[in-house]
Amino acid sequence: MSFMSKSPWVIHYDASSCNGCDIEVLATLCPGFDAERFGVINTGNPKHADIFLVTGSVNSRNIHVIREIYNQMPEPKAVIACGCCACEGGVFHDCYNVIGGVDRAIPVDVYAPGCAVRPEALIDAIVEAEKVLEEKYEAMKKGEHAPVIPLDAPVLKKGA
């Protein structure tokens, strides 16, 4: 039996969010929504985390940071794009410096839409990500490993 879905520890990274989604991520952990009911802990450390919460869109400055954090997380791991910006660029999609959603930098498992993303949607996304973690755990036992993405790798295809 796998314990992956019992204790989803998260790490939160603010890519280039307007801070709206970040506040919602933290609100999810606060008494009002109390995500710790489901075992969620905000670790602040990629090496301890299972789920990567990214808010905001990817630009050429932070794409390396997102990939670095992703590569440092031990398997099994899941990525949640939190908010419209993280899903596909949102209101910033046509800014000169914006590349797009988080899926242009790393593979994304769950998309949580909303501007800003609602804590309910976020909790829902974490529960979805738990299923992904279970699947990845099974795959890990068979010897499969998520790709290590070089920091200067080309931008991924949208929704890849």
Partner 1 sequence: MTTFVATVVGSICFAVLAPIVGCFLDGLDRKISAGMQGRVGPKLMQPYWDVRKLLQKEKMSVNTVEGTYIACALFFAIVAGGLFYSGGNFLLCTLVITLSSLFFIMAAYSTRSPFAEVGAARETLQVMSYEPMVIFTAVGMYMIAGTFDVAGLFDMRHPLICYGWPIFLGLLFILTIKLRKSPFDISSSHHAHQELVKGITTEMSGPTLARVQILHWCENVLFLGWTGMFFLSAGPASLIVALVFVALVYFLEIWIDNNFARVKWQVMLKWAWIVALVAGGINIAVLAFA
Binding site for partner 1 (CB under 8 A): 2-4, 6-7, 9, 26, 29, 31, 34, 36-39, 41-45, 47-48, 50, 74-76, 137, 140
Q: How far is the CB of 60 from partner 1 (least distance, A)?
A: 25
Q: What is the rounded distance in angstroms from the CA atom of residue 2 to the CA atom of residue 21?
A: 31
20: tokens are 């709206």
Terminal alpha carbon distance of the chain = 30
* Nearest to 23, CA basis, from 83, 69, 76: 83
Judged by CB, which is closer to ligand SF4: 66, or 85? 85
String of contacts with ligand SF4 for each residue 4-43, x by CB under 6 A: -------------xx-xx----------------------
Judged by CB, which is closer to ligand SF4: 121, or 146? 121
How many amino acids of this chain bind ligand SF4 (CB under 6 A)? 13
3-state secondary structure of 17: coil
Give Cα 112 to chain centroid, integer Å.
Answer: 9
